[in-house]
Structure 1
Amino acid sequence: MTNALNSAIKIHTRIGGRFRLQISLAPDAQITRDTGWFDNHITDNGLNICHTDALYGGNYAGGTVPTWVQAICVGAGSSEPADSDTQLESLVATASLFNEYPVASINSSERYLSLIWTKQFGLGEAAGNLTEIGIGGTETSLLARSLIKDGNGDPTALVVTSDEYLTVSYELRIFQPTEDFTGTIDGYSVTGRISHADNIDYWCYGGFGVTTAPQNFPQEAVLTDGAIGDIEDAPSGNEMKGFGVNRSTYVSGSFKHTGTYTLGTSAGNLAGGLIKAIDVPLGVGWWQFEFSPGIPKDNTREVEIEVTLSWGRAS
């Protein structure tokens, strides 16, 4: 017998980012000019390409750098950023981020995962009147673009001379929802919320896919016979591992993935015969879901649970 929750549990997260540009006369010299931080615009192309592979922080030796954060570009264009942008309007210079790892941290007060890349252009490599900046997989596949802005948030030209170094910092923010996602699916009331919210080891190594154990990740998805915990915690009760997931093919422009978690007859058979919660990696972080009533499960039943993760730009 297959007990299938055929309507997907739907959850959502948001992505944002910001730039900072600094100029100096030597690689480690005093900063002579500094724009301060200013927000960027995540492009539709960026929302598409960020599903492709994992997003690993530099404090995890087994990680790989995502292919969608491989280049920082500066230019001389003046058009306002648009959802449809894929490249700068007028490219001046590009610096490679290949094998450059971000510094990862969690902001627990504003609730987001912070990933910061910092790259210095060589002497005079970015010389010119710079007015725009972008970051992405390549020069023609940008994740984000912005006009360069001053301390008041107004577009400005940053003049870099041939005897100066330009250092660019980019912070990508993956926001952690603090609200519950609730609904009723095939007769089961479902409550979903993030888990392990303050643990960088859980929140730095997933991509925007759906899985049970991200590549090189030390933890696995679990199911339990207890209730879900607070966002900093995980479900309580007896737990069990060992179930698989089939991920949907990504459709460009959908900004979502659906995964079907499958428990065969030999998997997930807790002593009490009910699955009341699961704790799984979805996207960059981890999520926990509680089912009421519990889902019956023994060695005569198979269970399928669909979860859809969607993502969009932060306002």
Structure 2
Amino acid sequence: MQANMGMAGEFRVVVKRVDGSTKIDTGYQKNLILNQGLDFFGGNNGSDMMAYCVIGSGNSQPVYTQNKLDTAIAGVSGADFSTKNNYNASTDGNLYKTNRVRKYSFSGLNNTNISELGLASTYSATTTYFLCTRALIKDSQGNPTTITVLSGEVLEIYYKVWAVYDITDKTGQINLLDGAGGSVAYNYQFKLANVGNSSYYLSQFNNVSPASSVGKYQSVCSGDLSAITASPTNKLAEISNSTMQSYVASSYKRIALLPFAVNEANGSIRTVVLDAKIGCWQIRFGSVANDSPITKTNTQTLTIPIEISWGRYEGAL
């Protein structure tokens, strides 16, 4: 069973004159999510891929395998500027697209040439940072260009990172092991949950790490699947001790383990709700034989593994 998120990024460069008027506004341009940026979600390299913006003067063509700017000049932390987490079925179709915009302000540059930039999840110096994205600044014709920030002017970077989800149902089959060598085959149906709820869709750009568990609380319910804008009802149990298997570099996935002890989740388990920090999903179980739910008693434990994966989104925004 797999929960998946796609990533994309855009940036906008604005230069303000000393009097506050706008000298340059490039509008939004696409950037590259680096392989290292995808590895960020595995943990251990900061908690927010949008924590810092780093600017530089290099001009090499961005490639997935880069981990630094060509020539870094400065880096600053940002502040949240806006977010989008609404869903409109008539216009959004089968994709749920959310985004977060952060603003980064650079002052005191004093006649500095800027041609490249990127997001970093950690930053302590121009030689020490964890770069997640990279881009060259381009002119109105789409050609790489250099912007000169004069003394007294302020450089503002607006960075927009998108998280994109496929809202169509996913189905498959698993075998539930009984611990004594036997198994029962179950069909599963997998779909998004709580779409449009800011409590679940404003953390997509944080890592999925064991230090913070999988997310908030995982639930098992006797109720059936709901619409993607809600979640199943009739909660049987809620746990906060979900864990993650170790991340393998360049795999862009982690396995979440949802454990239920003998005194938890006893009854007929029809659905599970997974809050994975980078999204929220609901999963329905029905036996292959007769569509009956999973039945758990107070003499049994239950562990549900779910793969959480992420990658680049290359489609239209």
| Contact 1:243-1:267 at 8 Å conserved across structures | no
- Which of 150, 159, 168 is the aligned partner of 2:157? 168
Deviation sequence 1:129-148 (CA, Å, 0-9, x none):
32211111235421100011
Matched, 1:130 2:114: yes
Q: CA deviation at 1:16?
A: 1.1
The amino acid that maps onto 2:302 is: V
Give the Cα separation in 1 of the matches to 2:2 and 2:165. 15
Give the drift of 1:288: 0.6
Counterparts of 2:65 and 2:235 in 1: how far apart (Å)? 48
Q: Among 251, 254, 259, which residue is 1:257 paired with?
A: 254
Equivalent residue for 1:302?
A: 301
For these two proteins, the number of residue pairs brought into alignment is: 288
The yes-or-no answer on 1:77 pairing with 2:58 is yes
Within 2, Cα distance between the matches of 1:53 and 1:174? 21
Q: How far 1:18 moved relative to its partner?
A: 0.8
Q: 2:130 aligns with which of 112, 126, 141?
A: 141
Unaligned runs of 5+ in 2: 176-184, 288-292
* Per-residue deviation, 1:210: 6.8
Give the CA deviation at 1:17. 0.9
Output one character per residue of 1:53-95: Cα deviation in whole Å (capped at 9) or x when no partner.
79xxxxxxxxxx835433312222221111111111122x223
Q: Distance in 2 between matches of 1:307 and 1:148?
A: 39
Q: TM-score, structure 1 length as denominator?
A: 0.83
For residues 218-267 of structure 1, the C-alpha deviation after alignment (integer angstroms, 9 at most, x for no partner) is: x6221111211121111133443236323101111111110111111110
Q: Deviations over 1:165-194 (max 9, x none)?
A: 111111111112212222111111111111
Task: State the secondary structure of the residue aligned to 1:108.
Answer: coil
Distance 1:250 1:153, change over 3 A: same
Q: Distance in 1 between matches of 2:209 and 2:307?
A: 8
Within the alignment, does 1:158 sit opposite 2:147 as a pair? Answer: yes
Compared with structure 1, are the counterparts of its residues 143 and 33 closer, same or farther at alpha carbon in structure 2 (3 Å cutoff)? same
Query: 5+ residue gaps in structure 1?
Result: 1-8, 55-64
Aligned-partner Cα distance in 2 for 1:153–1:277: 49
The one of 8, 16, 22 equivalent to 2:14 is 22
How big is each residue's C-alpha offset from its partner over 1:145-168, in whole Å with a ceiling of 9 and x where there is no partner?
001123343322222222321111
Over residues 180-222 of structure 1, what are the superposed CA-to-partner deviations in whole Å (9 max), with x where a residue is unaligned? 22211111111111111100112223644277x869x8x6221
Which of 189, 192, 195 does residue 193 from structure 2 map onto? 195
Are the equivalent residues in 2 in contact too, given 1:42–1:313 (CA < 8 A)? yes
RMSD: 2.5
Answering whether residue 207 of structure 2 is matched by residue 223 of structure 1, we say no
Change (3 A) 1:165 1:244: closer
Counterparts in 2 of 1:210 and 1:239: CA distance versus 1, 3 Å: farther
